[in-house]
Structure 1
Amino acid sequence: MLGLRRTVDDTLLELAYADPLHLLADIPLIELSVPLADRVETIAAMIR
């Protein structure tokens, strides 16, 4: 299951950076490598 999650994450990241529909032009992308449970706290700390 971990391999599938990593593959899906990588594919979504590639899609976000490629932005084929130009939907993310004004939205910064933040790559997080922390565990899912810690992501909200990590993002909150980044925007403070």
Structure 2
Amino acid sequence: MIHLQGANNLPDAQSQLVVTMFALPGTPILTLVGAEELAERRDRRVSRP
């Protein structure tokens, strides 16, 4: 599964994140990806501090 990650950019307040996901009827809302696709996208990852 490829996903985007949100973060709290406010040092003095807590943030909340609401996610709305859409899919065609009868199709899965999540699709898992294989190791090959993850390796192809490795350069798009953000390193943790």
- State the TM-score bracket (shorter-chain normalisation): under 0.3
Q: Which has the higher helix share?
A: 1
Return the index of the structure with the highest Cα Rg. 2
TM-score w.r.t. length of structure 2: 0.20
Report the TM-score, using the length of structure 1 for normalisation.
Answer: 0.20
Q: Which has the higher contact order (CA 8 A, sep 6+)?
A: 2
